[in-house]
A and B are shown apart, each in its own frame.
Chain A
């Protein structure tokens, strides 16, 4: 099909114009352009990386937690009121601090749940409001990284 040049040119202009107007109609994400202050932030920030090296002892200690997560958690049907959930907290603690300290932190978490809601902030996860109690909230006083500076030492009277 041999079309005259002028027709080809007009067709090209028409197509380009159509593409241009079509792209103009696509609105930008206002939330992103306004900056994150305007956006609703949900979920917890990952402050620091976990240690990431797990030995055989860590695997053994983590096994019951994995068992609970895969076979029991769904059966019981209750979701943890805390974020991260106790089982995830346990895995994070074991990965970050090793088997022994991680296990101790897990037992501590299970015991201090009752009063933590009074002092820890709420956080929206999915559609649920949970109590935000990350690992850094419980190990900040002895485990520090360049990102998590300790609070100044308090004078005891």
Chain B
């Protein structure tokens, strides 16, 4: 009887502990989850992006179905984006989409993936993703995506499409504030006068250096003209004095200067046009307030990401 009593007493003593064990474990789980999430966010805010990525991965490994696992998975892409590691950012966002296809953060992640692609030079794919962000049900980045999309259309001189987007009634509320500026940008880009690579090449073929003058690269033009003149004269003199070996070498060099000059004139015109497009693009980024974007809102952190275009 005594034994039964002492066993019952022991069970009665241990029971509350057993009942609380689940609660304690759950509390510890919550605490640990919050701790890692906060630490990752702190690292992110401090600019320790690689460490933040490690902590985010730790979170995903320990709490794959945690409350903030979506935000943590997205934060990996954000951290790579902040580090300007575009390819890694794209891969991290892809991983996020695979893991959480129906996430509420998908719109924002799509937008940032588009930015990473744009930086990588994959403009067509970035454009597609901006459109996807715009057609999505909900995204705080809709306005920004619309401005990027219009700016890309202006850069590619697709004015009709840009004007159509500007007049789109569904998009209008998102770009209402910048509509005037967009119109100004459109007008300015329409008025750009490009250099013709064909004209530059033809001019250099007719008179070495003339194509460079057309491209407003005057010093290059002078050098090209002088080099061609000197080598033609030297080759002529060499042939005149029956020095055919030297004449042949000088002729070879002259062919080089001549063809190189034509190539340079054509390439120079392309470079002028590229620089004009890029200058207008950069002005557009500045005027449409696209230089910076808030990123990494997980864990209450807000960091400004700048686009170094």
Q: Knowing A104-B256, A108-B267, A155-B157 are in contact, say whether A115-B47 is a contact too (CB < 8 A).
A: no
| B273 CB–A CB distance under 8 Å | yes
| B156 CB–A CB distance under 8 Å | yes
Question: Are the CB atoms of A35 and B83 closer together than 8 Å?
Answer: yes
Binds B, one of A49-57, A71-79, A141-149: A141-149
Give chain B nearest CB distance to A27 CB in angstroms.
Answer: 14
- Residues of A contacting B275 with CB < 8 Å? 119
| A34 CB–B CB distance under 8 Å | yes
Question: Are the CB atoms of B224 and A156 closer together than 8 Å?
Answer: no
- Residues of A contacting B261 with CB < 8 Å? 107-108, 111
Binds A, one of B16-24, B48-56, B100-108, B174-182: B48-56
Residues 115 to 156 of chain A near chain B (Cβ within 8 Å) = 115, 119, 137-141, 147-149, 151-152, 154-156
Q: In the bound complex, what is the Cα–Cα distance between A62 and B266 (angstroms)?
A: 25
Select one of B48, B122, B195, B219 contacting A115, CB under 8 A.
B219
- Residues of B contacting A103 with CB < 8 Å? 256
Q: In the bound complex, what is the Cα–Cα distance between A139 and B264 (angstroms)?
A: 10
- Residues of B contacting A112 with CB < 8 Å? 212, 217, 220, 264, 267-268
- Residues of B contacting A109 with CB < 8 Å? 260
| B239 CB–A CB distance under 8 Å | no
Q: In the bound complex, what is the Cα–Cα distance between A141 and B269 (angstroms)?
A: 10
Select one of B218, B259, B271 contacting A119, CB under 8 A.
B271
Give chain B nearest CB distance to A1 CB in angstroms.
Answer: 46
Select one of B223, B264, B267, B277 contacting A151, CB under 8 A.
B277
Q: Knowing A35-B85, A154-B273 are in contact, say whether A104-B259 is a contact too (CB < 8 A).
A: yes
| A36 CB–B CB distance under 8 Å | yes
Closest-by-CB residue of A relative to B193 is: A157
Give chain A nearest CB distance to B122 CB in angstroms.
Answer: 7
Question: Are the CB atoms of B48 and A36 closer together than 8 Å?
Answer: no
- Residues of A contacting B84 with CB < 8 Å? 36-37
Question: Are the CB atoms of A36 and B83 closer together than 8 Å?
Answer: yes
A interface majority secondary structure: helix
- Residues of B contacting A108 with CB < 8 Å? 260-261, 263-264, 267
| B128 CB–A CB distance under 8 Å | no
Chain B CB count within 10 A is highest, among A33, A108, A110, A151, for: A108
Question: Are the CB atoms of A114 and B48 closer together than 8 Å?
Answer: no
| B90 CB–A CB distance under 8 Å | no
| A105 CB–B CB distance under 8 Å | yes
Residues 185 to 227 of chain B near chain A (Cβ within 8 Å) = 192-197, 212, 217-220, 222-224, 227
Q: Knowing A33-B48, A36-B85, A156-B194 are in contact, say whether A111-B268 is a contact too (CB < 8 A).
A: no
Question: Are the CB atoms of B157 and A34 closer together than 8 Å?
Answer: no
| B270 CB–A CB distance under 8 Å | yes
Chain B CB count within 10 A is highest, among A35, A37, A103, for: A35
Contact digits for A94-105, partner B, Cβ 8 Å, 1 yes 0 no: 000000000111
Question: Are the CB atoms of B259 and A107 closer together than 8 Å?
Answer: yes
| B150 CB–A CB distance under 8 Å | no
- Residues of B contacting A149 with CB < 8 Å? 121-124
| B57 CB–A CB distance under 8 Å | no
Give chain B nearest CB distance to A93 CB in angstroms.
Answer: 11
- Residues of B contacting A37 with CB < 8 Å? 47, 49, 82-84
| A7 CB–B CB distance under 8 Å | no
Q: In the bound complex, what is the Cα–Cα distance between A137 and B49 (angstroms)?
A: 32
9 examples of A-B residue contacts, CB within 8 angstroms: A33-B50, A36-B84, A37-B82, A107-B261, A112-B212, A112-B267, A114-B217, A114-B219, A152-B156
Which 5 residue pairs are nearest across A and B when measured between Cβ atoms? A107-B260, A35-B83, A114-B219, A152-B156, A35-B49
